[in-house]
A and B are shown apart, each in its own frame.
Chain A
């Protein structure tokens, strides 16, 4: 599995947040690799838009299953190593983190309409 470049997806996510006025965001994590949004709506919208740009966003559990890692190892890549991008919103009792599994080539779609 080819890892997604953190810079590329972070760049895309921030542009989406600005374009759609999704509110404030915070970059944290060891590599600035965790992008935290302020609401679930903003987070879900950003996830959807990243999917439209070709990123397959999954939960750490799904990423673990696809990559042969444990969920704890995936979270470690996000929280401790900073090697995996995550889109996050703080929540209680529900999954508030997704990570990119892979990127689908969508060159035929051309630039996204504004």
Chain B
């Protein structure tokens, strides 16, 4: 994922509202979201190159999503797949706190990443690029290719739009969230971050929804977890200008009660 906007315990009807865009090269093979044949409790898309995923949830309420930390100066070829972190957590039984300890010990073997993960009792955040690990507090949050809530223009714009939507709607619809994620407005030059890719690429990567000839937002995902433990998962996938968007939708009841603590 390259942009995750989420509201934790910030809406009367929903414990979690998450809207995220996955940015990737269009030619990277990808399977759309579904329940996995080899782990039927896991609902997620699948990166067919690395074998992992960028965002998913299980019928038991485990949830995880990853973004890359953009820093081409420290990128290493052959580092382990960051998408595997999400897939392994979703498939496994490791507690979030145990994964946090593991990431503390092993996180530096990966290229830069941010991981949001939880099991319904808490939602944790870890980055291997220097951020303080955290139990994510209630509120509106945004994560792109820097650290949690770094106010990049797309993060600030997305958080503001999400906050306005949730304040205005008793029942936010997935289409409302997709509309936020579809925003192609580039950031003004003076607000562009400097991640080492040059100003032209920074500009191309600055909207919430990225569209370049070879690289861009491949999918938008919306996850709503209600206070009644129903989960609505909708994924809209794109493949550049070549295809029309495809949408898959799932709705199920999470087996274990979701009780993210309010701080």
Contacts and interface: CB of A to CB of B under 8 A. Distances in A.
B134 interface: yes
A24 B263 contact: yes
B124 interface: yes
Interface string A1-44: 00000010011001101110100100100001000000000000
Nearest to B106: A111
Interface residues of B, number: 15
A18 B124 CA distance: 9
A106 to B, nearest CB: 14
Contact of A18 (B105, B133, B263): B133
A19 B97 contact: yes
Interface in B165-199: none
B84 interface: no
Nearest to B130: A7
Nearest to B121: A21
A15 B98 contact: no
A10 B124 CA distance: 16
A114 interface: yes
A114 B101 contact: yes
Interface string B122-135: 10100000101111
Contact of A19 (B101, B105, B132, B134): B101
Given A19-B97, A114-B98, A14 B133 contact: yes
7 contacts: A15-B104, A18-B96, A18-B135, A19-B97, A19-B101, A24-B263, A32-B132
A15 B263 contact: no
B140 to A, nearest CB: 19
B98 A14 contact: no
